[in-house]
Amino acid sequence: HMIIFYLFLCPSAKTEREILQAADVICTTCVGAGDPRLKNFRFRQALIDEATQAVEAEALIPITLGAKQLIMVGDHCQLGPVVMCKAAAKAGLTQSLFERLVLLGIRPIRLQVQYRMHPALSEFPSNMFYEGSLQNGVTEADRQLLTTPGFGGKEDFPWPVDNKPMFFYCIWGMEEISASGTSFLNRTEASYVEKLVTHFLRMGVSPLQIGVITPYDGQRKYVTDFMRRSGSLSAATYDLIEVASVDAFQGREKDFIIVSCVRASDSQGIGFLSDPRRLNVALTRARLGVMVLGNPKVLAKNPLWAALLLHFKENN
């Protein structure tokens, strides 16, 4: 039997102690493991999930409670801890304990079979981020919109190549600094996001199946507002579409992902977009299809994006 105890549910200290002592497994955050109520407990086994998103100091807290065996689950090829202080980040606080151990030569055990993406979607991330080692635990037939439970529509999305549910849409609109003065937006990309979203909704795709990823908060706000204001369907329907940053989508999935790159200036560079881990997360959230909207001329100056654009080109 397993009793899972969450540290904020119990009324009295005595009841808490009794439940804690009877529990086989205690679930808590890394920092929560330092709760005074666990001070006299010793845990021989510690399992830290999403370990690459914890700063080292956080990860050490559960380990100090008597761990003899430690299991860390995470992916150092995806986003690391969020550190707001630039000086601390520069000094190394963004490196997780998981990543430090990898760099010290401790080889992680890689789970090599992916069960999320249509096989055509896993090809580029596998080759670019995982040395070509990802295997597909699902087939093309398993990842078809027309056979997805709950889908009542009659037609599939008109992908440029039938068995490859992905494309890069060339957008030549300009980037702008957002109203906050600290972010960017791209109105042309936003209008095409709305067109794609509306097309999916008219086909019968649920708004909960669609995710819009953009690295800039200015674009997130503008896309959300633009869809409500200019979309031909009800504002309430567009409100159900999740528009969020790459960071917010880590560890999650949607059937369809639309990526709005925003950056389009020859002289300004591509900012966040040059981070390989961000690109990896953005491209690996979708089960059935991915659409990337961006300025290929500007993006191709970065070697990673040049490789992605070549991949799209080779696949028509």
Q: Are residues 124 and 165 in the same domain?
A: yes
Determine the structural domain holding residue 159 and report its residue range: 113-314
Same domain, 158 and 227: yes
Question: pTM value?
Answer: 0.88
Give the pLDDT score at 14. 80
170 with 26, same domain: the answer is: no
* % residues pLDDT > 70 (the chain): 97
Residue 162 and residue 82 in one domain: no
Q: What DSSP letter does each residue of 199-248 carry, written as one string?
A: HHHHHT--GGGEEEE-S-HHHHHHHHHHHHHH-SS-HHHHHTSEEE-HHH
Domain boundary residue, one of 50, 84, 103? 103
> Same domain, yes or no, for 128 and 85?
no
Structural domains counted in the chain: 2
Based on the fold, state whether residues 84 and 228 are members of the same structural domain.
Answer: no
Q: What is the mean pLDDT of residues 212-227?
A: 97
CB 213 within 8 A of CB 256: no
8 has pLDDT over 80: no
Average pLDDT over residues 36-48: 93
**Closest to 293 measured CA to CA, from 164, 196, 222:** 196
Give the residue among 255, 250, 311, 259 at the shortest CA–CA distance from 142. 255
Q: Are residues 138 and 96 in the same domain?
A: no
Q: How far apart are CA 133 and CA 123, in angstroms?
A: 10
Q: Identify whether 74 is part of a domain.
A: yes
Q: Which domain CATH number covers 235?
A: 3.40.50.300
| Cβ-contact 51, 73 below 8 angstroms | yes
Whether residue 52 contacts residue 78, with contact meaning beta carbons closer than 8 Å, is answered with yes
Are residues 232 and 198 part of one domain? yes
